Amino acid sequence: MVVSVVLAAFVLILPVELPDKTLFATLLLATRFAPLPVSVGVGLAFGLQVAIAVTAGSLLSLLPDALVSGVVALLFLTGAVLLWRESRKGAEDDEAVAQAREETSFLRAAAISFGVLFAAEWGDLSQLATAGLAARYAEPVSVFVGAWAALLVISGLAAFLGRALADRLPVALLHRVAAGLFLVFAVVAVMETIRTLAG
């Protein structure tokens, strides 16, 4: 495991997920169920999604280097544009929150949380970023650990801090910071593509 790759994945994924729909889905689940089963279900869903993204990125790394760095640049550039556009929309509207927690078993609450988050993560920016990092670094375990750790931090915050967390996040600013990070990774990948083609 390469610590610098773990940190790169963590630093990139954390701001991408903070203002994401999965954060709000976890907050909503935490208003209906106890925080622990929500965290377990969401954490398992994130783990499976990260494994899928790392596998896809690792398969990308089997292609020629110039093609891989070009695809990685495109993934990050797409993510940067999407995040920047999202930041211009402003903070998302608050959704109606359930008044009382349901009396639900741990297993049922965890299963519901898993299902909701597993479905919500498909094609998400964090999944694109994770695939891009796995292709770029060819260190699938390190990327997995960093990305999953970032997602677990977000889901833990959402599940245990509840609505207060969502009310205090400057969503537009977080989108802009994440867009900037995506743009930096895109530029690095473009430079690698040019260097590979020239060499």
- Tell me if 180 is assigned to some domain: yes
Question: What's the CA gap between 83 and 177, in Å, rounded?
Answer: 9
- Tell me if 98 is assigned to some domain: no
- Tell me if 135 is assigned to some domain: yes
DSSP line for 37-56: HHHHHHHHHHHHHHHHHHHH
pLDDT for 26 equals 79
pLDDT for 148 equals 95
Question: What's the CA gap between 12 and 71, in Å, rounded?
Answer: 18
CA distances from 72 to 4, 110, 196 (A): 18, 34, 14
- Tens-place pLDDT, residues 117-171: 787 676 677 888 898 889 888 899 999 999 999 999 988 887 776 545 545 656 5
pLDDT for 170 equals 62
- Tell me if 158 is assigned to some domain: yes
The backbone region for 95, taken as left when phi is positive above 0, alpha when psi lies in -120 to 50, beta otherwise, is beta
Residue 109 half-sphere exposure toward CB, CA atoms < 13 A: 21
pLDDT for 123 equals 64
pLDDT for 145 equals 97
- Tell me if 101 is assigned to some domain: no
| Residue 74 structure tokens | 């495109």
What's the number of domains the chain is made of? 1
Of the candidate ranges 10-14, 93-97, 128-132, 165-169, the one whose mean pLDDT is the lowest: 93-97
pLDDT for 70 equals 80
- Tell me if 99 is assigned to some domain: no
- Tens-place pLDDT, residues 31-42: 777 788 888 999
Asked if residue 94 has pLDDT above 50, the reply is no
The 8-class DSSP code of residue 20 comes to: S
DSSP line for the chain: --HHHHHHHHHHHHHHHTTSHHHHHHHHHHHHS-HHHHHHHHHHHHHHHHHHHHHHHHHHTTS-HHHHHHHHHHHHHHHHHHHHHHHHH-SPPPPP--SS-----HHHHHHHHHHHHHHHTTT-HHHHHHHHHHHHH--HHHHHHHHHHHHHHHHHHHHHHTHHHHHH--HHHHHHHHHHHHHHHHHHHHHHHHHHHH-
Q: Is the pTM of this model over 0.85?
A: no
Instruction: Please give the residue range of the domain that contains residue 27.
Output: 3-92+106-198
- Tell me if 62 is assigned to some domain: yes
- Tell me if 134 is assigned to some domain: yes
